[in-house]
Structure 1
């Protein structure tokens, strides 16, 4: 049986973006199934002791920027470490990903493209025009945005939030394999070893 990775993330996270291509390559190589679970960290953080970036202590904010620069250099990704359009709402982007997954869209491509739009191009990823363009570019119907706004898709995201809290998710991205949590793109080495040992 193919391994299954539960992938809890937000498309707004730079760490999600920095790990996206490598994570998807790794999962494909291992023949792993990915459950895409874009959750609301506005709900996760208060329940797990976390704080939004702007509410963190100055030294934590400064170190975060240093780490983003390091990881951008390490991965060769031309990341804008302080984009004008961060932070921003991500609800419509997350709901669109849920609708796209339901429709069998190119999820690795879409997830990476959303991160690229924000962290390389400094665009608003919750903007319907941005989302329609990304959907079309990855062979998905722009009409999925209408589906994303449905009560059913919104209820599904609520269920994902509850599931994330139940399994102990507190940060993005979190990869869960056989009940074991791997938090952050800097834990992909450990996830890769775990996949290889499965």
Structure 2
């Protein structure tokens, strides 16, 4: 079992804004991460969340302001209205699962690459050619885009069920497995870092 279970969705702007800080934190504290893409809209529906298209305008206006503030603060390129959004996230999620199962590369940068493709590079992360390109750029066999789809689909569904059963209601969401400590949002990564540091003392 990994030390941290990371639940995310490849259409989530907040998951994008997490960047690769989780990987830096994990390296600093010597902990492992399990990457668990989820069907975020299903999680919303089952845990009281509301997708952006159905939210009150005041909530979406604040969301837009905060996304732009956070991206500027983090110095990350960001397009508030990507050309290909919302994408079908199943294909990119399956590719991430297949890559993780292959044991042939670093999954963290791959996750971020898919998110960056959506939110900063105007790419359709449901497009097979984009998926293959992202895999190759991150050092994975691009043919993983077409391999193990049944297993990946089953894992994706299982991740979503697990997320709901363990109290996940949004993305990004981090759970420290040793004591079920939960951290929601890219703006809680500093708290996760501090928590892991305190546990080591």
- TM normalised by structure 1 equals 0.95
Judge conservation of contact 1:182–1:191 (CA < 8 Å) in 2. yes
Secondary structure of the residue that 2:189 maps to in structure 1?
A: helix
Partner Cα separation in structure 2 for residue 148 and residue 81 of structure 1: 33
Aligned residue in 1 for 2:91: 92
Task: Give secondary structure in 1 for the equivalent of 2:20.
Answer: helix
Whether contact under 8 Å (1:7, 1:176) holds in the other structure is yes
Instruction: Give the match for residue 78 of structure 2.
Output: 79
Aligned positions, number: 196
Alpha carbons of structure 1 residues 152 and 3: separation in structure 2 relative to 1, 3 Å: closer
Preserved CA contact (<8 Å) 2:84 2:118: yes
Residue 42 of structure 1: how far off its partner (Å) = 2.1
Alignment of 1:65-144 (within 5 A): 65-104=64-103, 105-144=105-144
Aligned to 1:183: 184
Q: Distance in 2 between matches of 1:51 and 1:95?
A: 24
Tell me what 2:41 maps to.
42
CA–CA distance in 2 between the matches of 1:184 and 1:59? 20
Q: CA deviation at 1:78?
A: 1.4
- Per-residue deviation at 1:144? 0.6
Relative to the length of structure 2, the TM-score reads 0.94
Q: Following the alignment from structure 1 to structure 2, what is the Cα–Cα distance between the partners of residues 8 and 191?
A: 14
Which residue in 2 is equivalent to 1:32?
Answer: 31
Q: 1:10 touches 1:41 (CA, 8 Å); kept in 2?
A: yes
Q: Secondary structure at the match of 1:24?
A: helix
The reply to whether residue 195 of structure 1 matches residue 196 of structure 2 is yes
Cα deviation, 1:89-146, whole Å, max 9, x if unaligned, reads: 1010011100011112221111111111111111111111001001111111111111
CA contact under 8 A between 1:95 and 1:157: conserved in structure 2?
A: yes
Q: Please report how far the alpha carbon of residue 148 of structure 1 lies from its aligned counterpart in structure 2 after TM superposition.
A: 4.6
Does structure 2 retain, via aligned residues, the 8 Å contact 1:20–1:111? no
C-alpha displacement of 1:86: 1.5
The alpha-carbon deviation at position 81 of structure 1 amounts to 1.3
Which consecutive residues of structure 2, in runs of 5 or more, have no partner in the other structure?
A: none
Gaps of 5+ in 1: none
